[in-house]
Amino acid sequence: MSNVPDNLRYRESHEWIDPKQDPAPVGITDHAQAELTDVVFVELPKVGAQVQAGDQVAVIESVKAASDIYAPVSGEIVEVNETLTNEPGLINTDPYLKGWIYKMKIADPSVADVLLSPDGYRTHIA
Amino acid sequence: MSDPVSSAPLQRSPLHNVHLELGGRLVPFAGWEMPVQFSSIVDEHKAVRESVGVFDISHMGQILVSGTEAESFLNQALTNDCSVLAPGQGQYSLLLNDDGGVIDDLIVYRTSPKEFFLVVNASRIAEDWAQLEKLAHGNEEVELANASAVTAGVAVQGPRSAAVCRHLFGVAAPFPPRNTIFVAASASGFMWLCGTGYTGEEGFEFFMPATEAEGWFRKILAAVKEEGGLPCGLGARDTLRLEMGYPLNGNDLSPERTPLQAGLGFFVKLDKPKFVGREALLNQKEAGLPDKLTALRMTTASPPPRPHYPILVGGENVGEVCSGTQSPSLGCGIAMAYLPPHLSAPGTALEVEVRGRRFPAEVVKKPFYSKKNG
């Protein structure tokens, strides 16, 4: 069974965001990393980029394929996880903590409510 | 994260239920629904390099050629010289079109003085069959049989393959030497035990009636696990073969390019008086090769090179990636591409473009991986 932490919100395309933090970290879910396996490269977004919810902002490369990562909400990218450049496997081993991909300043904090709840996401991947 | 693309109805392996039971991730490949991985491509790859792995290769095709003129027929249809094969021996060979382009690459084994067993690529079974039938048309002394649909195959690959073989067939059973075939009859049909593979490791390939596949696979898997190995999918099969620089038809071989361009001249016997494509190859040899299948590796951390990514030199587009991946053994991106001869010398600096960004690469010698540098 995949780990779906209760303190996060989710997008159907398998990104998580922690809207309680400011800036809010974003990553991919345990379910997503298990599907991808063997992450070998992460193409990080640019710090300072203004993004809309649903924009493709990063790419995760596994041995098998390249997968687009989307912004769960609109806002500004304010930090990226440079550690992933040398240790892309952190996405597999620790998707919710050390494997965060970027942090964003959320444009409108209330929009986080349109994302899936932990139960909603559990149903989505069931 | 983007979702995988769904696709048209696919053929299923006789081991389909076992794949599901083992948690295999099934994907479309060459018209078949096959497991790309069971655990992780990297773990499966390492199992084959360090201990042993078992692969379902039931998608591959098998064609039987027999008759008093079987040998001369195959020597006109294929590039290698099968007259040198004694019963029980096999060789790599190619089936070409009239222009010298590759229809398929295959292994031909001689099972008796008048009988041959061909193992061909899943994606080319129909084309191979059509070409062989066309060439055999009107020849009463050659008989063709396509056993692809009723034959399953399992490959056991890795340094512990011999131990797996002993578990299966007893300590006295000889391990199949490289490029050999042993045929055994069973109640439900023939079984072929071949000393071949597609990984660069010691191993064997075992073809059998589809009805017997599940029983054999379970026995083989139990032996593989006992030796610390894993069931492996086509993902690891691809990274393993690419580390050796083995071409994959459809990626690295095509009807538009000759085996000389693909660096497979060793398997083309131009001194044979006649075979399909010979004239075109002689002409190409005389004129010089327009490009050569060249190995390259990424020289910095980069996304894995993948098929169709552009290759540049000095900002000029000089080709595209045919096969490419992240090498699990070497920890860097590796690829093959058709490049002009003046850019195919080892050490030549190149760039590979990935989503608009360029990453440095250099031409290297094949194989990418050997036990020494791995």
Residues of chain B contacting A12 with CB distance shorter than 8 Å: none
A37 vs B: CB within 8 A:
yes
Reported as a single tens digit per residue, the pLDDT across B91-139 is: 999 999 999 999 999 999 999 999 999 999 999 999 999 999 999 999 9
- pLDDT above 70 (res B147): yes
Assess contact for A29 and A103: CB atoms under 8 A: no
Please indicate whether, in this complex, the C-beta atoms of B41 and A85 are within 8 angstroms of each other.
Answer: no
Is the residue at A87 inside a domain? yes
Is the residue at A105 inside a domain? yes
CATH 2.40.30.110 residue window(s) in chain B: 291-374
Domain containing residue A75: 9-111
Assess contact for B338 and B330: CB atoms under 8 A: no
**Mean pLDDT across chain A, nearest whole number?**
95
Q: Picking from A104-118, B13-27, B302-316, B331-345, which range would have the lowest pLDDT averaged per residue?
A: A104-118
A116 vs B: CB within 8 A:
no
Is the residue at A122 inside a domain? no
- pLDDT above 90 (res B373): no
Would you state the pLDDT for residue B8?
62
**Long-range contacts at B262-267 (CB < 8 A, ≥ 24 apart):** B262/B102, B262/B293, B263/B292, B263/B293, B263/B366, B264/B94, B264/B105, B267/B79, B267/B80, B267/B91, B267/B92, B267/B93, B267/B94
Reported as a single tens digit per residue, the pLDDT across A43-83 is: 999 999 999 999 999 999 999 899 999 999 999 999 999 99
Q: Which amino acid is at A51?
A: V
Reported as a single tens digit per residue, the pLDDT across B30-89 is: 999 999 999 999 999 999 999 999 999 999 999 999 999 999 999 999 999 999 999 999
Residues 6+ apart with CB under 8 A from B140: none
Please indicate whether, in this complex, the C-beta atoms of A41 and B1 are within 8 angstroms of each other.
Answer: no
- pLDDT above 70 (res B2): no
Residue A63 has its nearest CB partner, among B302, B304, B355, at B304
Indicate the DSSP class of residue A56.
E
Distance CA B20, CA B142 (A): 41
Reported as a single tens digit per residue, the pLDDT across B185-220 is: 988 889 999 999 999 999 999 999 999 999 999 999
Q: Mind telling me how many Å the CA of B325 is from chain A's nearest CA?
A: 6
How do strand B90-96 and strand B102-112 relate by DSSP bridges?
antiparallel
Distance CA B32, CA B9 (A): 9
Res. A113 pLDDT band, cuts 50 70 90? confident
CATH number at A103 reads: 2.40.50.100
Q: Mind telling me how many Å the CA of B313 is from chain A's nearest CA?
A: 23
Assess contact for B126 and B137: CB atoms under 8 A: no
- pLDDT above 70 (res B5): no
Nearest Cα residue to B366 out of B289, B297, B268: B297
Assess contact for B175 and B194: CB atoms under 8 A: no
- pLDDT above 90 (res B3): no
Would you state the pLDDT for residue A110?
83
CATH 3.30.1360.120 residue window(s) in chain B: 11-58+149-243
Nearest Cα residue to B293 out of B244, B259, B269, B317: B259
DSSP string, B25-42: EEEEETTEEEEEESS-HH
């060793």: which residue's tokens? B266
A39 vs B: CB within 8 A:
no
Fold for B291-374, please state it.
Answer: Elongation Factor Tu (Ef-tu); domain 3 (2.40.30)
Is the residue at A63 inside a domain? yes
Is the four-CA dihedral B7, B9, B12, B18 of positive or negative sign?
A: positive
**Mean pLDDT across chain B, nearest whole number?**
95
Would you state the pLDDT for residue B1?
56
Distance CA B27, CA B41 (A): 14
Please indicate whether, in this complex, the C-beta atoms of B3 and A13 are within 8 angstroms of each other.
Answer: yes
B40 vs A: CB within 8 A:
yes
Would you state the pLDDT for residue B347?
98
What are the structure tokens assigned to B76, written together?
A: 């006109």
pLDDT, mean of residues B2-6: 49
Res. A109 pLDDT band, cuts 50 70 90? confident
pLDDT, mean of residues A11-34: 96
pLDDT, mean of residues A91-111: 95
Percentage of chain B modeled with pLDDT above 90 = 94
| Total of domains in chain A | 1
pLDDT, mean of residues A11-33: 96
Reported as a single tens digit per residue, the pLDDT across B148-186 is: 999 999 999 999 999 999 999 999 988 999 999 999 998
Count, residues in chain A: 126
Would you state the pLDDT for residue B372?
66
Would you state the pLDDT for residue A122?
97
Interface of A with B in 69-108 (CB under 8 A): 69-70, 85-86
Res. B316 pLDDT band, cuts 50 70 90? very high
CA B279 vs CA B94, B99, B187, B276, B285: distances in Å: 15, 8, 46, 8, 10
CB atoms within 10 A of CB B16: 20
Percentage of chain B modeled with pLDDT above 70 = 97
User: What CATH number has the domain spanning B11-58+149-243?
Assistant: 3.30.1360.120
- pLDDT above 60 (res B374): no
